[in-house]
Amino acid sequence: MELQILLLLPMAFLLPAGAQAGEIIGGRVAKPHSRPYMAYLKRKTCKGEEPCGGFLVREDFVLTAAHCADGDITVLLGAHNVRRDEETQQRVSVRRKIPHPGYNKTSIENDLMLLQLAEPAELTDAVGTIPLPQAGRTMEPGSVCSVAGWGRTSLDTMLTSNILHEVELEVMSDETCQEDRLLQRYYKPSWMMCVGDPDEDKASFSGDSGGPLVCDRTAQGIVSFGKNDGSPPRVFTRVSAYVSWIKKTMRAFSSPGSHAESPAYLR
């Protein structure tokens, strides 16, 4: 068994959880547009189309995983079926990719990236932002959160889903990942979250990378990596450890037409 940074790549030793925006194991079809913050990242790389997930944190910024940085990225907002031309959809090009300066693709530390949109999104019933957590806040083990994506549902298929799926996952103790034979080398409690009960067949998978772990209506985690057989637990970037960097970076790169000030929840 190997690790996976949930990309749709060959069975490499580490596959990030979202170099291809993926579906969900053990989940269900999401209610259309019930997650207006969700972003589908259409990435064109030398290997073909490799989508990722992401989420809108300000009208002009999407937060995603740093391992999703390769290729030309187009952001699709307001989507339920990404293969249809829905009236709710907004396609926006990316002005600037801003990976965390400490991102290490070998150790998978600091796996987050801001995408500055070429123009601010129009906020509608189908397109909206999601709040960031309080800086430094941690979720207690046993908390039930959710994750969504458009990718694979099992090892039996390499095809991604057209329709957004979602699943509820339990936050596990740090020890659950620290004691896992394949995860323990990479898991860092200060910057990562251990998510998904090992006794349940429910998880994020290839390639849900970059999508948000939503707890109490806030984006607490970012899908990052896991074992390549899709089994839980999976590892998520802990957003609360990076709130200061996120806010500082968005202030430094304000898009024309965006608000002079960040929304109250980002201050």
**pLDDT, tens digit, for every residue of 144-169?**
999 998 865 555 555 667 899 999 99
Model pLDDT, residue 44: 81
Binning pLDDT at 50, 70 and 90, where does residue 13 land? Answer: very low
Read off the tokens for 227.
């074992």
Model pLDDT, residue 2: 54
Quick check: is 149 in a domain?
yes
Instruction: Compare 109 and 49 and report the one with higher pLDDT.
Output: 109
* Whole-prediction pTM: 0.86
Same domain, 223 and 255: no
Peptide bond into 211 cis (omega under 30): no
Q: Is the pLDDT of residue 263 over 50?
A: no
Q: Is the pLDDT of residue 51 over 90?
A: no
**CATH value at residue 122:** 2.40.10.10
Same domain, 232 and 173: yes
Binning pLDDT at 50, 70 and 90, where does residue 8 land? Answer: very low
Q: Scanning the structure block, which residue is given the tokens 């979720």?
A: 139
Quick check: is 4 in a domain?
no
Model pLDDT, residue 20: 33
Quick check: is 28 in a domain?
no
Cα separation, 132 vs 171, whole angstroms: 18
Contact 125, 204 (CB under 8 A): no
Quick check: is 174 in a domain?
yes
Instruction: Compare 122 and 261 and report the one with higher pLDDT.
Output: 122
Model pLDDT, residue 112: 98
Read off the tokens for 75.
């952001």
Same domain, 191 and 213: yes
* Distance set, CA 77 to CA 26, 122, 163, 240 (Å): 25, 10, 13, 24
Same domain, 155 and 236: yes
Same domain, 246 and 229: no
The range of the structural domain enclosing residue 200 comes to: 144-240
**Tally of structural domains, the chain:** 2
Quick check: is 2 in a domain?
no
Read off the tokens for 167.
């699943």
Same domain, 98 and 181: no
Which residues does the annotation mark as catalytic? 67, 111, 209
Same domain, 119 and 246: yes
Same domain, 124 and 171: no
For range 176-189, the mean pLDDT: 96
Cα separation, 32 vs 38, whole angstroms: 11
Cα separation, 83 vs 85, whole angstroms: 7
Binning pLDDT at 50, 70 and 90, where does residue 123 land? Answer: very high
Same domain, 228 and 152: yes
Same domain, 120 and 190: no
Model pLDDT, residue 15: 47
Binning pLDDT at 50, 70 and 90, where does residue 14 land? Answer: very low
Same domain, 203 and 155: yes
Instruction: Compare 147 and 6 and report the one with higher pLDDT.
Output: 147
For range 173-192, the mean pLDDT: 96
Quick check: is 135 in a domain?
no
Quick check: is 102 in a domain?
yes
Quick check: is 250 in a domain?
yes
Cα separation, 231 vs 164, whole angstroms: 20
Instruction: Compare 85 and 204 and report the one with higher pLDDT.
Output: 85
Model pLDDT, residue 156: 57
The tens digit of pLDDT for each residue in 71-111 reads 999 999 999 999 999 999 999 999 999 999 999 999 999 99
Same domain, 95 and 160: no
